[in-house]
Amino acid sequence: MELASGRAGVRVDVERGGRLASLTVDGHELLVSGVDTTDPLRWGCYPMVPWAGRVAYGRFEWRGVPYRLPVTLGPHAIHGTGYVSPWRQVADDRIELNLTEPWPWAGRVESSFQIDEVALRWTISVTNLDQCPWPVMVGWHPWFRRVIRDRSAELVFDAGAQMERDADQIPTGRLLAPGDGPWDDCFTEVDQPIRLTWPGVVDLELRSDCSHWVVYTEPEHALCVEPQSDGPDAFNRDAHQLGPDDSPFERSFEIRWS
């Protein structure tokens, strides 16, 4: 699925995780794409649903019942099931996914895209199709290129707090003053927009109605700035509950260029 407007264009790979396989502005590819697409964790920009980040050791308890999820990175379950699932296109600007095993409950995810002269707005909406409530998170994982036309990316953001993590990358429950990078960390109270610039090439502003942002700057070839509706391992804390009679759980991510 391809969408374009003015200076920008996107290509959505419906079959491979419903992800952005390409985002171009003024002819410049902004995403890691076409390099190593064999590992679904490490390219494009993909939706994280029905959870984002890690679920510790693939285990959580919900309403007194223990559940297990497939371990997909180290000892943990990570980034949901949507990014490794084939979606289906239902309109020129919308795709859908039915939640099935290994997710324990029935649900539907709708992913819609709006692009104009200056921005892409991507909305994810989750509906519970089961008979009982279940936990839900959503997020986005963009892999932005570190260097475009010999210009290195510059990231500017301010956050009120950083989630402390243990040796296995799981939040301890403590909030710290934000430290210096490089990061693979989750931040709260983040000032928006977050700014990502390749000087003289393109400037981006990132916005979301999500409450948490994970910033991953350790790779040499890329950096990731990920809005999430909660922090990692939320299912083992106080996850958002989505009931069968509730309105869909919805969040949006906007990428604006200048």
CB 248 within 8 A of CB 135: no
Residue-wise pLDDT tens digits, 50-85: 999 999 999 999 999 999 999 999 999 999 999 999
What is the model's pLDDT at position 181? Answer: 85
Residue-wise pLDDT tens digits, 167-201: 999 999 999 999 888 999 999 999 999 999 999 99
Rounded to an integer, what is the distance from CA 204 to the centroid of its chain?
A: 17
**Full DSSP string of the chain:** -EEEETTEEEEEETTTTTEEEEEEETTEE-B--SS--SSTTSSSEEEEBS--SEEGGGEEEETTEEEE----BTTBEESBSGGGS--EEEETTEEEEEE-TTSSS-EEEEEEEEE-SSEEEEEEEEEE-SSS-EEE--EEEEEEESEETTEE-EEE--EEEEEEE-TTS-EEEEEE----SS-EEEEEEE-SSEEEEETTTEEEEEEES-SEEEEE---SSEEEEEEESS-TTGGGS-PEEE-TTSPPEEEEEEEEE-
User: Tokens at residue 202, please?
Assistant: 């393109």
Percentage of residues in the chain having pLDDT higher than 70: 99
Rounded to an integer, what is the distance from CA 217 to the centroid of its chain?
A: 15
What is the model's pLDDT at position 91? Answer: 97
Per CATH, which fold does 2-257 belong to?
Answer: Beta-galactosidase; Chain A, domain 5 (2.70.98)
- Give residue 160's pLDDT band: very low, low, confident or very high (50, 70, 90): very high
The Cα 187–Cα 239 span in angstroms is: 17
Picking from 115, 107, 132, the residue whose alpha carbon sits closest to that of residue 50 is 107
Residue 34 pLDDT > 80, yes or no? no
User: Tokens at residue 13, please?
Assistant: 């790979």
Residue 256 pLDDT > 90, yes or no? yes
What is the model's pLDDT at position 35? Answer: 59
User: What is the residue extent of each domain of the chain?
Assistant: 2-257
What is the model's pLDDT at position 93? Answer: 97
The Cα 157–Cα 234 span in angstroms is: 23
Residue-wise pLDDT tens digits, 208-249: 999 999 999 999 999 999 999 999 999 999 999 999 999 999
User: Which residues, other chains included, contact 167 with Cβ-Cβ below 8 Å and sequence gap of 6+?
Assistant: none
Average pLDDT for residues 30-36, to the nearest whole number?
A: 82
Average pLDDT for residues 141-151, to the nearest whole number?
A: 97
What is the model's pLDDT at position 36? Answer: 63
- The pair phi, psi for residue 60, each rounded to 5°, is -155, 165
Residue-wise pLDDT tens digits, 87-133: 999 999 999 999 999 999 999 999 999 999 999 999 999 999 999 99
Residue 155 pLDDT > 80, yes or no? yes
Residue 38 pLDDT > 90, yes or no? no
